Amino acid sequence: MKRVYTTLLILIASAGLLCSQDLSGRIDEFRSEALQKFTGYFTAAELTPANQLKLTATGEYFNASLADKKVILGKVINLWEESLIIVQAGTKKELWGWNNARTEAELIEQWDLNGYSEEGSSSSSASNISAHPWFFYIGNMVVLDSEKNLNAALNFRIGFFLLRNKWDFALSLSEQISGNIESETEMTMETSAGLMSKFYFPLKKYGLSPYAGGSASFSLTGGSVSVTPAFLGGISWFKGIGCFDLGISAGKNTLLMVGFTVIPNYRYHSK
């Protein structure tokens, strides 16, 4: 059990470090390039302790209409590629997100630090913003060699994104069968459940997203339980309500996996 906890801690810490390094480089790039496109509306950009983008706004921005703000923040989210953004000027603050259903920026909440708060103008709840969209996956693997040895597996996964389109965490369940189809010996069946996490490196222009991560699974074979860590790598192709996945799992065994991940209330679009 200690081995499992250690594997999970290393997995989560590594993904968090990758995320932090990635965002630190991107905020510098955003300040030097993207921020210049909004000089009339924002004067500074920084990261909050939770790694959200915070923009310091001008009076011109806060005097703009809601429709104009949606256009402005839509462009910002397009450049920053994260769903939640904080806008502040003096004591006034706004929280913005991306509404996948409407394919536009949406005001989630606005408040004043002097003591009052009001709901955002959105007609839908913040849960529709997909800050942490959940997903489920189904895939299979079948290998039959020339000597009639069969290896087949059916994989299920359900989880959610810690960072939209960048980092996910999931529970997994798989059923694997192996043996020789012409042998009188019964096939060996193995059931495993576990945890996995992947960090994505999206190429948004092409709808492709290479990923790397790891997993730890509990397997039940012949009455005995074993724990197996594995490295995960591959690429996802976002299309429609989810993405096609082609990946490899390298641990005690090396497996090639093909499947489709469904993300409810999501529809891929190139903003």
Model confidence over 174-224: pLDDT tens digits? Answer: 888 888 888 877 788 878 899 999 998 888 777 788 999 999 888 766 667
| pLDDT (tens digit per residue) in 34-90 | 888 888 899 998 888 777 889 999 989 988 999 999 999 989 988 887 668 899 988
Classify residue 3: in a domain, yes or no.
Answer: no
> Are 120 and 173 members of one domain?
no
Q: How many Å apart are CA 167 and CA 203, to the nearest integer?
A: 14
pLDDT score of 126: 41
pLDDT exceeds 90 at position 233: yes
Q: List the single range of 126-130, 145-149, 245-249, 267-271 with lowest mean pLDDT.
A: 126-130
Residue 80 domain boundaries: 33-129
Domain boundary among 129, 149, 175: 129
105 with 200, same domain: the answer is no
Has residue 1 got a pLDDT over 70?
Answer: no
User: How many CB atoms lie under 10 A from the CB of residue 261?
Assistant: 21
CA 27 distance to own-chain centroid: 19
Contacts of 174 (CB under 8 A, 6+ apart): 153, 154, 155, 156, 191, 192, 193, 217
Digit-coded pLDDT (tens) for 93-125: 898 888 877 788 888 888 776 554 444 444 444
Same domain, 194 and 206: yes
Same domain, 60 and 118: yes
Query: Residue 264 — very low, low, confident or very high, per pLDDT cuts 50/70/90?
Result: low
Q: What's the pLDDT score for residue 84?
A: 81
Q: Are residues 46 and 104 in the same domain?
A: yes
Of 106, 129, 152, the residue that ends a domain is 129
Nearest-angstrom CA–CA distance, 36 and 109 = 26
> Contact, 98 vs 60, CB < 8 A?
no
142 and 112 in a common domain: no
Q: Is residue 143 part of a domain?
A: yes
Query: Is residue 136 domain-shared with residue 122, that is, in the same domain?
Result: no
* 247 and 147 fall within a common domain: yes
For residues 122-134, give the mean pLDDT: 48
Per-residue pLDDT of 7-37, as tens digits, reads: 444 444 444 444 444 566 778 888 888 888 8
Residue 227: pLDDT over 80? yes
Does residue 17 fall inside a structural domain? Answer: no
CATH number at residue 161: 2.40.160.20
Asked if 188 and 238 sit in the same domain, the reply is yes
pLDDT band at 130 (very low <50, low <70, confident <90, very high): very low
What average pLDDT does the segment 118-140 reach? 56
Overall domain count for the chain: 2
- The one-character DSSP state at 271 is -
pLDDT computed for residue 220 by the predictor:
66
Check whether residue 153 and residue 248 sit in a common domain.
yes
Residue 141: its pLDDT value, please? 72
> Is position 270 within any domain?
no
CA distance 196 to 11: 9
Domain boundary residue, one of 93, 114, 129: 129
